Structure 1
Amino acid sequence: MLNLKKTALTGILTLAFSVPAPLLQAQSLTDGDTANIMALKKTALQSNLAYEIDESLTTEVGPRLVGTPGDAQGITWAVAKMKQLGFDKVWTEEVQHVTWTRGVAEARIIAPYPQKMVAIALGGSTGTPEDGLKAEVVEFKDFAALEAAPEGSLEGKIAYVSFRMERKINGAGYGPAVKARGAGPSMAASKGAVAYVMRSVGTDNNRLGHTGGTNYKDGITRIPAAALSNPDADLLSRTISRGKPVEIFLKLTAERKDDVPVITANVIGEITGSEKPEEIVVMAAHLDSWDVGTGAVDDGIGVSVTLAAAHHIANLPERPKRTIRVILFAAEEVGLVGVKHYMKDHENEIAQHVIGAEWDFGVGLIYEMVPGVGPAALNHIRELAHLLAPLGVSLSPKNDAKGQSDLSLLGKAGMPAVNFSPDGMKYFDYHHTDNDTLDKVDPEALKQNTAVFTIFSYFAAQSGIDFRK
């Protein structure tokens, strides 16, 4: 977790409380609205609620892989928590996915220098034969090199992509690295490979593998796929660099059953608008997690921030004009499955989704807001940015946000969005690993995160701005 310097955080909190209200007033808001925002900010910055929610989720439920008992328990927990926190309406919407179990993973170098390696199956991977498999390994520096390999050149071999992810505050290193996870197994199989291994998509040096979903192409043999810990990827690359043939052993007991459906659910709660209840401001996160760690960061932080923000607004004497809807999506980790169901269930209501924001990245303070609104609405976004500036949040010069993760589908369908950028320097140290646990969550950063989401959602719900224009 990002260790925040007390002096820096104290400065942010002092500035947040001390800026005179007249300087923060937005033209779209009344004096009373601005006073509410100041009160909400103070409450969020002083409240431990978001951390308490994450603690509850990770202690009482834990990991929430689709189709597991934890997934079902998470849904029950979320419904009860929303009701406890004062949501006016709470309901679930069924989501269907396929059955997949992780099993165990075993990997080692057999020759020329026998060594144990730590590996983890990629989400959705098939298993190896019962006794595992042995084959020579061929290294590729990145996905493009694998893609360029001649047809048939990997016949009977194991493909290995050794590309290392770069650490970036905004997570920009993820995109270049994750392609090898999603498309790598099918690409390797198309060249004749019998299995696929890759360096974990992560920035840590722990001897832990990073899981994450993979996608098999139709018409191509599905081969076993695993990620090596960063230290073991280094080890394998060093061994290959000696110039001798390298043989590895891989055993995965993962099992995939596309013909056996599992049922999960999106969990939705609303703070009903007082004047325009049909107009919806969305805050979102995903409720599911991988089966490693406890999902405290990915996406326990998002669950906690959105629930706490809605609760603070629900405690105001009057509801905002528009409805605030918190959506905890199911099955995000396995391919945005929950939001795809949501799009079908609400296809005639997308025009009523006036704006949305999702949390699904980062472990530190939010430092920037990226809008994705109509040109006329940009002036109002600047008003919102003025309210957020005392919290250390700057306004990006870009105006191309579509929403993070799940909400990106709604953004592409026309819903305006804002993306909040938190410090993600250490996020991919924990992402999709056994290290995704509550101790990585910074309670003080969580207060600022919650204050930002609270101000955003109240501003959007109360101001009546048409963010599409």
Structure 2
Amino acid sequence: MTDWIGETFTSDAGWSHLEALVDVGDRMAGSDGERRAAALTRDALADVGARDARLSEFDAQGWTRGTSAITAGETTQDCIALPRSPGGTVTGEFVDLGYGLPEDFETADCSDAVVMVASDVPDWQDRLIHRREKYYRAVEAGARAFVFRNHVDGCLPPTGSVGTSEAPLGEIPAVGVSKEVGHRLARRFEGTDVTVTVDVETGPATSQNVHAELGPETDEQLLLTSHVDAHDISEGAMDNGAGTATVVEVVRALAAREDELDTRVHVVCFGAEEVGLLGSAHHAERTDRDEIRAVVNLDGVLRGRTLRAKTHGSDALTEAVRTVSDRFDHPITVDPRLGPHSDHWSYAQWGVPACWVKSETAERGRGWGHTHADTLDKLDSRDLRESAILLTDLVVELAGADREIPHADPDAVAANLDAQGLAEGMRVTGDWPYAE
């Protein structure tokens, strides 16, 4: 039966939910907006046919952005605080470290400095160097403040959290500046004293995960996930309203194919992803990993028309993705490498098969993501519907009783992280979960 395909391609359930999410406004972790978005998502999942749609609350580090500034010479340069930055005012010599590669920190004197690094890495760099790795290298080098410069044109200061699971607030003030402001600072003020001022409010807060179920009441479960929260400086359309809206559309289609599911589909739309994967960590710590068949995590979809599936070395997941791609004669890029920077990682780090689905783009880095420009006008409802069709079929495929999806040994995951050059950065940021 293919009626579900036509119904998905003419449905407005997912796109309507995306509009509702972006219209909430601020969905920062722990905020009233995040709570409203979670409630909207719970109700949307129930409306499209999921059962037992509900919220589960957990504690989070509260953080509210105030006004920040960089004072250089007789000028005041625009910037925004990075989430979980501590507040304060510090002065130090301005040091531009370019990309902020590990070797850049080794060759420069960053002691008592205000250190600026770019948000991207060069094309020849063999691995992603995450913002938090650059931040903690600056901390280790003795910097007084951290300046994160966007590589994208358009006067767009980037955001993105610092902090660790053990110490949710970072150690030194951290701000984001646009590419243009960063260029100006480097040109005019390299080697001179500048002052960074960060004003924030911190304290206890709560976030919540959204849960719902489909399919048979099996102990084994297939997780279909996204995250509801977004950075407060934008609508959070791409990151990650699009992922949660696509989950809603997939759930609507799965409800029409529920008798084809051999495994229970547990839908979880997490809170507080942007500040340390808190929602997924909370759930993963309370779930028997042996009962999780696999995770399909939607984070970064709809940025382009072609889906990209990161399968974390799982041959079974790769085969399933390619089966769906061939069945619909529709391209899906398969990336077998590990990716530790979204909610699937709370499970994948311990060997649970995980497929992180995002979009194929020609851009380097996040593009409009984590900036004021992450807005609804960048997205296309056609892409949502096409993606939902493919992802619905992928969930049914993975839930099939005849498909074996072996878990990996955590030691093998750790070895793969080392082999792919990711372990070094995870150790710097305090994200390495394995015994040495």
TM-score, reference length from structure 1: 0.77
Alpha-carbon RMSD across the aligned residues, in angstroms, is 3.0
Task: Report the more deviating stretch, 451-460 or 284-293.
Answer: 451-460
Residue 14 of structure 2 corresponds to 50
Pick from 170, 175, 185 the counterpart of residue 236 of structure 1. Answer: 185
1:452 and 2:390 aligned: yes
| Partner Cα distance (1:286, 1:366) in 2 | 21
SS at match of 2:220: strand
SS at match of 1:204: coil
1:358 and 2:297 aligned: yes
Work out which of the two has the higher radius of gyration on C-alpha atoms and give 1 or 2: 1
Q: 1:429 to 1:163 in 2, by over 3 A?
A: closer
1:224 and 2:173 aligned: yes
Pick from 44, 49, 69 the counterpart of residue 32 of structure 2. Answer: 69
1:415 and 2:352 aligned: yes
C-alpha offsets along residues 153-207 of structure 1, whole Å, 9 cap, x if unaligned?
4454322224644699xxx99923x2xx31444443444432221313xx42111
| Partner Cα distance (1:185, 1:122) in 2 | 11
Pick from 96, 102, 113 the counterpart of residue 139 of structure 1. Answer: 96
Q: What's the CA shift for 1:372? A: 4.9
| Partner Cα distance (2:220, 2:348) in 1 | 16
C-alpha offsets along residues 133-158 of structure 1, whole Å, 9 cap, x if unaligned?
443312222242453157xx445432
Count of aligned pairs: 402
TM-score, reference length from structure 2: 0.82
Residue 369 of structure 2 corresponds to 431
Residue 7 of structure 1 corresponds to none
| Partner Cα distance (2:382, 2:297) in 1 | 20
Does structure 1 conserve the Cα–Cα contact (< 8 Å) formed by 2:5 and 2:389? yes
| Partner Cα distance (1:184, 1:406) in 2 | 21
SS at match of 2:237: coil
Q: What's the CA shift for 1:400? A: 5.0
C-alpha offsets along residues 259-315 of structure 1, whole Å, 9 cap, x if unaligned?
x43121111111132xx6323222111111111101111100100111110111213
Residue 118 of structure 1 corresponds to 78
Q: What's the CA shift for 1:449? A: 1.4
| Partner Cα distance (1:45, 1:86) in 2 | 17
| Partner Cα distance (1:418, 1:155) in 2 | 41
C-alpha offsets along residues 417-451 of structure 1, whole Å, 9 cap, x if unaligned?
33435123357232111211211221111112111
| Partner Cα distance (2:139, 2:319) in 1 | 51
C-alpha offsets along residues 31-75 of structure 1, whole Å, 9 cap, x if unaligned?
xxxx3xx3333332333332111001111x222112211122122
Pick from 158, 178, 198 the counterpart of residue 148 of structure 2. Answer: 198
Q: 1:380 to 1:332 in 2, by over 3 A?
A: closer
Does structure 2 conserve the Cα–Cα contact (< 8 Å) formed by 1:156 and 1:194? yes
Residue 281 of structure 2 corresponds to 340
Does structure 1 conserve the Cα–Cα contact (< 8 Å) formed by 2:324 and 2:390? no
Pick from 206, 211, 215 the counterpart of residue 272 of structure 1. Answer: 215
| Partner Cα distance (2:145, 2:405) in 1 | 48
The one-letter code sitting in structure 1 at the alignment partner of 2:46 is K
Residue 320 of structure 1 corresponds to 261
The one-letter code sitting in structure 1 at the alignment partner of 2:184 is L
Does structure 2 conserve the Cα–Cα contact (< 8 Å) formed by 1:41 and 1:454? no
Q: 1:86-235, aligned counterparts within 5 Å?
A: 86-110=49-73, 114-129=74-89, 133-141=90-98, 142-145=100-103, 147-148=105-106, 153-162=109-118, 164-165=120-121, 175-176=128-129, 178=130, 181-200=131-150, 203-215=151-163, 222-235=171-184
5+ residue gaps, structure 2: 408-436
| Partner Cα distance (1:402, 1:283) in 2 | 17
Task: Report the more deviating stretch, 409-418 or 327-336.
Answer: 409-418
The one-letter code sitting in structure 1 at the alignment partner of 2:43 is A
The one-letter code sitting in structure 1 at the alignment partner of 2:209 is N
SS at match of 1:303: helix
- Identity, % of aligned positions: 21
| Partner Cα distance (2:3, 2:390) in 1 | 13
SS at match of 1:278: coil
| Partner Cα distance (2:207, 2:219) in 1 | 27
Residue 383 of structure 1 corresponds to 323
Q: 1:275-290, aligned counterparts within 5 Å?
A: 277-290=218-231
Does structure 2 conserve the Cα–Cα contact (< 8 Å) formed by 1:373 and 1:468? no
SS at match of 1:458: helix
1:468 and 2:406 aligned: yes
Does structure 1 conserve the Cα–Cα contact (< 8 Å) formed by 2:223 and 2:265? yes
| Partner Cα distance (1:280, 1:392) in 2 | 27
5+ residue gaps, structure 1: 1-34
Q: 1:317 to 1:300 in 2, by over 3 A?
A: closer
| Partner Cα distance (1:156, 1:382) in 2 | 52
SS at match of 1:147: helix
Q: 1:148 to 1:232 in 2, by over 3 A?
A: same
The one-letter code sitting in structure 2 at the alignment partner of 1:468 is P
